[in-house]
Amino acid sequence: MGMTVAEKILAKATGQAAVKAGDVLEPRVSVAMSHENAALVINQFNEVFKGTGLDARVWNPENIVVIFDHRVPAESSKTATNQKKIREFVAAQKIAKFHDVRGDQGGICHQILPENGYVRPGDVVVGTDSHTTSHGALGALAFGIGATEMAAVWTLGRVLNVEVPGTIKVEVSGEFPRGVGPKDLILHLIGTLTAEGANFKVIEFHGETIRRMSTSGRLVICNMTVEAGATSGIVPADAETERYLREEARVIDPLEPVVPDVDAVYERTLKIDVGKLAPQIACPHTVDNVKPVDAVAGTKIDQIVIGSCTNGRLDDLETAAAILKGRKVASGTRMLIFPASWRIYKDALKSGALATLVDAGAVIVNPGCGCCLGVHQGALGDQEVALSTTNRNFKGRMGNPNAEVYLCSPAVAAASALTGVISDPRKAV
Amino acid sequence: MAKVVFKVGDDVSTDTIYPGRFMATVLPSETPQFAFADYKEFNARVKAGDLPAGAVIVGGKNFGCGSSREQAASCLASLTVVARDFARIFLQNAINVGLRTVICPTIDAAEGDELELTATEVRNKTKGAAHPIVPLPKARQAIVDAGGLIPYARKLLLQERAR
């Protein structure tokens, strides 16, 4: 019986010829990523060693990555103290892949991993962040875990509490219409599957539209698979994966792409033709409450947000700049931009995109998780409404349970910035 | 006997259970003060330690969807959550930190109901109905039986270093 990409990766990572959905395994980990919640991982890691008489050393510092992104620069003394504790741990454990609050290396973890070439096709990648699903864009099996699970990974190099997921195959065909792109595809898919439709499953993406899609677009769709409950999204590695890793991530060592067997067994197959897809909006307060833009066009918006691990890359910023060039953000609406990394920030400085956005009235916030999770910067007032290219619109997400968040693509966000109401980018471009 | 002290609907996210603005607080001993922070009445009862032993939260489908923040599980660790089903990472975190979770696809209970939790079903004594539960896979039950992932990992660590 043939295997899916996830099954092949898990079989290899456990040294078995074959694995099947439902098995609970302890796969070896290639990349173990944490952000500020490493403060809790450190605590739990020390707990594991407590009373053993053993020196608390991580299994292999080369496989561990720590990135500050959730609250940068620190918004409180508590966060600053956590960051200090993590900095000291990282130095003591000789973890070299550490990205501090620095313009020459910082950014959001899900952008830092790919752009530094830390993730390779066929890897098992775990992160103490649910959007770790992003890295399936490079043909890896990548999923979010909790801090205690990560403490076990730091100790043993294996992830202990993992069920082999079944796989849903999604075949995508057709050419995106103007003003429509990967974000609209993934919102449409989440609306179709529902918020738990892929719980404990992997979504494996296939089809001509995926083959033509840039790695940036693939990161968008894999990032948000978790919003359908998925363990991971995977785009099997191909020529574009190799191009990205060689040209943009400067990877020189050999790659070992994993493709599914021709007789791989899928739980179900969905086919999507994007040729007639309209811009999609996820309405409050669940990500699967997805409607075409027409259904909510005209809704008044107080704050527009472009950024995050989902849509804070150069192509996203340039899409927005092209729409806003020489024009203004509507009065009564504010616009925040937070690029996904400082490398992207610099590229957007050079391309002129940031100046265009500032001239239009946008505020540029430093790379990081920014207002997406409501910790600092860009909180919403009572009864305010945000339209955002981020990934979650749960009640309270942007720091206020009495506010509403709509999710959309960068093109919809930029077109709506011009009018102050939810607007169709096909009419603005 | 276990009393239902709080009932929530479907798709309750980790942003509801443990809002992001409290994420700088990480230690399991400190997280309960922010459990369901925007639900003032219930939060006050958690904070005051004003809940009977074995108190139960009843949830709908996809309980704990969203973030991987473990605080969402640790802040409820003194309670039991019975839900139709759980989001993957939340369930994993609950098992790892020792929050008792019961997967009960047909659960029907209101606040104030008295439940009896057995190995195979949830008996609602108030309504006089029984609802079957879905057991955890064996390998996961082993983590629960070990008292959580920390003692489980510690045992594996000692076995490996002894080799």
Q: What is the ipTM of this complex?
A: 0.96
Mean pLDDT of B143-159: 95
A contacts of B92 (beta carbons < 8 Å): 145-146, 149, 161-162
Spell out the residues 6+ positions from residue A221 whose beta carbon is closer than 8 angstroms to its own: A137, A182, A185, A186, A189, A205, A213, A233, A235
Nearest by CB to residue B93, choosing from A48, A129, A146, is A146
Contact A245, A255 (CB under 8 A): yes
Among A10, A25, A130, A143, most B C-beta atoms within 10 A, so best to mutate, is A130
Under 8 Å between Cβ of B58 and B83: yes
B67 touching A, CB under 8 A? yes
- Say if B126 falls within a structural domain: yes
Q: Are residues A266 and A297 in the same domain?
A: no
Judge if A265 and A286 occupy the same domain: no
Query: Are A24 and B26 in contact (CB < 8 Å)?
Result: no
pLDDT at B163 over 80: no
Q: Which candidate from A76, A129, A229 shows the least CB-CB separation from B62?
A: A229
DSSP result, A221-290: HHHGGGGGT-SEEE----HHHHHIIIIIS---S--------TTB--SEEEEEEGGGPPPEEEPTT-TT-E
Domain membership flag for residue B99: yes
Residue A162: pLDDT band with limits 50, 70, 90: confident
**Which letter, b or e, does each residue of A151-183 get, where b requires 16 or more Cβ atoms within 10 Å of its Cβ?**
bbbbbbbbbbbbbbbbbbbbbbeeebeebbbbb
Q: Looking at the complex, report in whole angstroms how far the Cα of residue B139 sits from the nearest Cα belonging to chain A.
A: 6
Q: Is B52 within a domain?
A: yes
CA distance B63 to B76: 13
| Substitution target from B23, B39, B61, B156 for chain A, most A beta carbons within 10 A | B23
Query: How much is the pLDDT for A178?
Result: 95
Pick the residue of B96, B97, B136, B158 with the most A CBs within 10 A to test the interface with A by mutation. Answer: B96
B162 falls within a domain: no
For B134-141, what is the mean pLDDT?
Answer: 85
**What residue in B sits closest to A83 (Cα-Cα)?**
B24
Q: Is residue B141, in this structure, part of any structural domain at all?
A: no
Region A122-132 average pLDDT: 98
How high is the pLDDT of residue B140?
86
Contact B13 A392 (CB under 8 A): yes
pLDDT (tens digit, 9 = 90+) per residue, A300-311? Answer: 999 999 999 999
How far apart CA A119 and CA B163 sit, in angstroms, is 31
Q: Provide the pairing of β-strand A232-234 with A201-206.
A: parallel
Give the three-state DSSP class for A5. helix
Residues of B with CB below 8 A from A70's CB?
23
Q: Say whether B26 and A39 touch across the interface (CB within 8 A).
A: yes
The answer to whether the CB atoms of A161 and B92 lie below 8 A apart is yes
Domain coverage including residue A403: 281-428
Mean predicted lDDT score pLDDT of chain B: 94
Which whole number is the average pLDDT over A125-145? 98
Number of domains in chain A: 2
Q: Which of residues 100-159 of B touch A (CB under 8 A)?
A: 137-140, 143, 148-150, 152-154, 156-158
**pLDDT classification of A429: cutoffs 50, 70, 90:** low
* B146 within domain boundaries: no
Mean pLDDT score, A36-48: 97
Minimal CA separation from B109 to chain A, in Å: 22
A40 to B15: CB separation less than 8 angstroms, yes or no: no
Q: Do A71 and B24 lie within an 8 Å CB cutoff?
A: yes
In a domain, B23, yes or no: yes
Give the span between the Cα atoms of B93 and A41, in whole angstroms: 13
User: Both A222 and A336 in a single domain?
Assistant: no
Nearest CA in chain B to A57: B157
| Cα of A146 to nearest chain B Cα, Å | 5
Is residue B116 a part of any domain in this protein? yes
B39-45 average pLDDT score = 95
| Terminal-to-terminal C-alpha distance of chain A | 49
A57 plus A178 within the same structural domain: yes
Question: pLDDT tens digits, residue range B82-129?
Answer: 999 999 999 999 999 999 999 999 999 999 999 999 999 999 999 999
The string of pLDDT tens digits covering residues B66-83 is 999 999 999 999 999 999
A257 lies in the same domain as A228: yes
Domain boundary among A232, A247, A272: A272
State the residue range of the domain holding B93: 2-135
Choosing from A218, A237, A272, the residue where a domain stops is A272
Find chain A residues with C-beta within 8 A of B137's C-beta.
22, 24, 163
Query: CA neighbours within 13 Å on the CB side: how many for A6?
Result: 34
Whichever domain contains B7, its CATH number is 3.20.19.10
Q: Which residues of A touch B83 (CB under 8 A)?
A: none
- CATH code of residue A334: 3.30.499.10
pLDDT score, position A161: 80
Minimum-distance CB partner of A200 among B15, B88, B149: B88
Residue contact B154–A37, C-beta within 8 A: no
Which of the listed residues A272, A293, A314 is the one where a domain comes to its end?
A272
Interface contact A161-B140, CB threshold 8 A? yes
Task: Identify whether residues A223 and A311 lie together within a single domain.
Answer: no
Mean confidence (pLDDT) of chain A: 97
CB A410 within 8 Å of CB A183: yes
Domain count, chain B: 1
Residues A256 and A364 both lie in one domain:
no
Residues in chain B with CB shorter than 8 Å from the CB of A286 are 11
Residues A340 and A266 in one domain: no
At A28 the three-state DSSP class reads strand
